[in-house]
A and B are shown apart, each in its own frame.
Chain A
Amino acid sequence: MAEPLLQTCGITKSFGALKASDAISLDLRPGEIHALIGPNGAGKSTLIKQIAGNMQPDSGTVHFLGQDVTVLDTVARARLGLGRTFQISALAMDFTVLQNAVLGALGARGDVMRFFRPVMKDRTLVARANEALERVGLQDHAAMRTAELSHGQRRQLEVAVALTLKPKAFLMDEPMAGLGGGGSKRLTGLLDGLRAEAPILLVEHDMDAVFALADRISVLVYGQVIATGTAAEIRANPEVRRAYLGEEDAA
């Protein structure tokens, strides 16, 4: 089996009495989509934040590309090649869609301290940004103000910005939320192909997408991973059915 690219070891994080992450150990291997599912408040976003570097775990470590990155901040982890999308869109709302994507391309190239040449006339950056917008289907909205996008389109833009980084691994927190059927199908197709470029740790509520895409699924409940396995294994797991899928069926 291939060496994991990304690995958490015993990540633990408490908010007062609440254990949002309870000794979470999971990994992401080359070429795979590893889906992380669980009910609301299970601690999925909290885990993503600790992997991305926005939040320090109380204990446990994060390894990325064979390196212990636990003490590194978000910027350093991004520079190492961790591409991340937020559950609640974190975009520059006054920018155009294209400007947000160009920002990503600029970050990837890393030469921010330039003070004279217009960035939107930089062909390389703009081409890279447009390519990413096209892949998520936002090419016709490039000149639109980001604040005017629908919630679904913002999620798409989040993915596009992550694409401009050409990262070595993706962390995606509910990228399909708010997308209509068409958008969701398109993004499913995109992620399907994307895993060959870089593996994806995917937090997602859309079960159809998860079962269609995921090579492996981990189920998080009350901060604990209660099961990890293939779609079939997870479907058949009685504990998972009781704790999570059962609720969905009942609802």
Chain B
Amino acid sequence: MTRESYINAGLTFLLVLAPFWAWSMGQAYILTLCTKVAILALAGVGLNIALGLGGLVSFGHAAFFGIGGYAMGILASHAQTFDPIMDWPILIEGTKSMPMIWLVAMITSALAALLIGALSLRTSGVYFIMITLAFGQMLYYFTIGWPAYGGEDGLSIYVRNIFPGLNTLVPVQFLILSYVILGFALLFSARLSRAPFGLALTAARQNADRVETVGIAPFRLRLVAFVISGAITGLAGALFADLNRFISPTMFSWHTSGEIMIFVILGGVGRLYGPVAGAALFILLEHLLGGVSDYWKIFLGVLLLAVVLFARGGLIGTLAGREVGHG
């Protein structure tokens, strides 16, 4: 095993241990924090496929996070008012079923990523950053002006959605659900990065000429990566909405895109557990420093600057060193 896999195992252990500790201390709110870490990490795992493996600096992943959130909000709100989403030409009703909601969240965010990617991946560098940002902001302003689902105020869902065989209203059950999904996403992401697709995608990040010369089109690789990335971040959005039982345009705002990117950068760009470490650190800092000062994000900014300047591999990279090997 490499050093990095020990660190990943250690992080997994800590994440699993935290709820037990919280439970023994009678600090139930820590369960919610852990759930939040897992869901935000999931959003980061999505972004990390585009950013870490593909080198695609998307500043618009809030678009997918928000679409996932609104997929949940729209389906669940129609279910709670027994009012079909549409009845012509076919009847589409709302649903409270999580698996169904997740499926819709992933498909719609994948489609959005396909469209946004097809348009923005023709550019690169700063233009790519700007175009993805613009798409995110477009959706942000669209939802603000969309009264059907609460407009600027957002929309509350009164009861958490249901998962067969579980009582999702019990915090620990929803926590386990989030952990399991994050686990699957990490497993998928680990396999993806070692698969033929991952090899070609990471090669295209390093040298697009090389990839073209062996007969592989970088654009297609990047588009597929962007779609997968968007779908995973969309799923995280649906879960996040369920955690808060609330959606609002904020999910689409560029702050959200920035935060997802911060998780990845803090933890380590392109590192499997980077988003997990980053999201955990972010929530921990928010929790510890947020109580001390309203300006805790200044500390976050300083930390981020330090990482970018001195510790390019983020938390994981600093602890594990450079990864060389055939894996």
Chain A residues within CB distance 8 Å of chain B: 52, 54, 73-75, 78-79, 84, 86, 90-96, 98-100, 102-104, 106-108, 110-120, 122, 143, 145, 161, 164-165
Contacts and interface: CB of A to CB of B under 8 A. Distances in A.
Given A99-B199, A116-B191, A165 B215 contact: yes
A108 B214 contact: yes
B191 A115 contact: yes
A75 B326 contact: no
Nearest to A118: B194
A116 B197 CA distance: 9
Nearest to B210: A90
6 contacts: A79-B215, A95-B206, A107-B216, A112-B196, A114-B197, A120-B199
A106 B214 contact: yes
Interface string B305-327: 00000000000000000001111
Task: Classify the interface of chain B: helix, strand, loop or mixed.
Answer: helix
Contacts of B224: 113
Interface of B: 191-192, 194-200, 202-203, 206-207, 209-217, 221, 224, 324-327
Given A92-B203, A118-B195, 12 more contacts: A74-B212, A75-B215, A75-B216, A94-B202, A107-B216, A111-B196, A112-B197, A115-B191, A115-B192, A115-B195, A116-B191, A165-B214
A112 B220 CA distance: 10
B325 A92 contact: no
B325 A106 contact: no
Contacts of A119: 194-196, 198-199
B283 to A, nearest CB: 30
A145 B206 CA distance: 13
B325 A96 contact: yes
A98 B326 CA distance: 8
B230 to A, nearest CB: 16
A91 B224 CA distance: 22
A153 to B, nearest CB: 16
A90 B207 contact: yes
Nearest 9 pairs of A and B residues by beta carbon: A107-B214, A78-B215, A92-B206, A90-B209, A74-B212, A79-B215, A118-B194, A92-B203, A107-B215
Nearest to B197: A115
B212 to A, nearest CB: 4
A73 B325 CA distance: 33
Contacts of B325: 96, 143
Contacts of B210: 90-92, 100, 103, 161
Contacts of A91: 207, 210
A119 B199 CA distance: 7
A114 B206 contact: no
Contact of A106 (B192, B199, B213, B327): B199
Contacts of B215: 75, 78-79, 107-108, 110, 165
Given A91-B207, A92-B202, A145-B324, A52 B213 contact: yes
A112 B201 CA distance: 9
A115 B324 CA distance: 21
Contacts of B203: 92, 95, 100, 103
A117 B199 CA distance: 11
B257 to A, nearest CB: 25
Most buried by A among B191, B198, B215: B215
Contact of B195 (A114, A143, A161): A114
B119 to A, nearest CB: 20
B198 to A, nearest CB: 7
A143 B327 CA distance: 11
B326 A99 contact: yes
Most buried by A among B196, B207, B213, B224: B213
Contact of A102 (B192, B199, B212, B216): B199
Contacts of A111: 196
A199 to B, nearest CB: 18
A243 B25 CA distance: 87
Given A96-B326, A112-B197, A103 B206 contact: no
B209 A54 contact: yes
Contacts of B194: 118-120
Contacts of A106: 196, 199-200, 214, 216
A118 B196 CA distance: 7
Contacts of B207: 90-93
Nearest to A105: B214
